[in-house]
C-alpha cells in the first residue's frame, strides 16, 4: 500500500486542489514498493489516479508513505 498526494490538480471540477489517495499492489504490479518512485507515479498518473481527478500543467506528486 502506497499513500500518494497529488498537488495542483482538478478535483471535483475545482482547479488547484490537493488530494491524497492509496494505491495497492495490484495497481503497480509487477514492481516492488521500492521501485515505485514519484517519477513512476507521474508517468502512470492517468492509470492510477482516482475518478474525478484531472491533471494540470503544474500537477506534482509526493509519496507520503509505503507499507507492506
Question: Taking a C-beta distance cutoff of 8 angstroms, is the pair 16, 56 a contact?
Answer: yes
49's grid cell: 489516479
Note if the pTM is more than 0.85.
yes
Which pLDDT score, from 0 to 100, does residue 18 have?
A: 96
- Between CA 60 and CA 57 the distance in angstroms is 9
Question: Taking a C-beta distance cutoff of 8 angstroms, is the pair 42, 63 a contact?
Answer: no
33's grid cell: 514498493
- Between CA 56 and CA 3 the distance in angstroms is 20
- Between CA 18 and CA 35 the distance in angstroms is 24
For 6-33, what is each residue's pLDDT tens digit? 999 999 999 999 999 999 998 888 999 9
- Could you state, in order of their start, the residue ranges of all structural domains in the chain? 14-57
Amino acid at each position: 500500500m502506497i499513500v500518494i498526494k497529488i498537488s495542483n490538480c482538478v478535483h471535483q471540477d475545482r482547479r488547484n486542489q490537493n488530494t491524497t489517495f492509496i494505491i495497492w499492489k495490484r495497481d503497480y504490479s509487477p514492481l516492488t514498493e521500492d521501485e515505485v518512485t514519484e517519477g513512476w507515479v507521474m508517468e502512470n498518473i492517468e492509470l492510477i489516479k482516482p475518478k474525478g481527478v484531472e491533471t494540470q500543467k503544474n500537477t506534482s506528486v509526493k509519496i507520503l508513505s509505503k507499507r507492506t
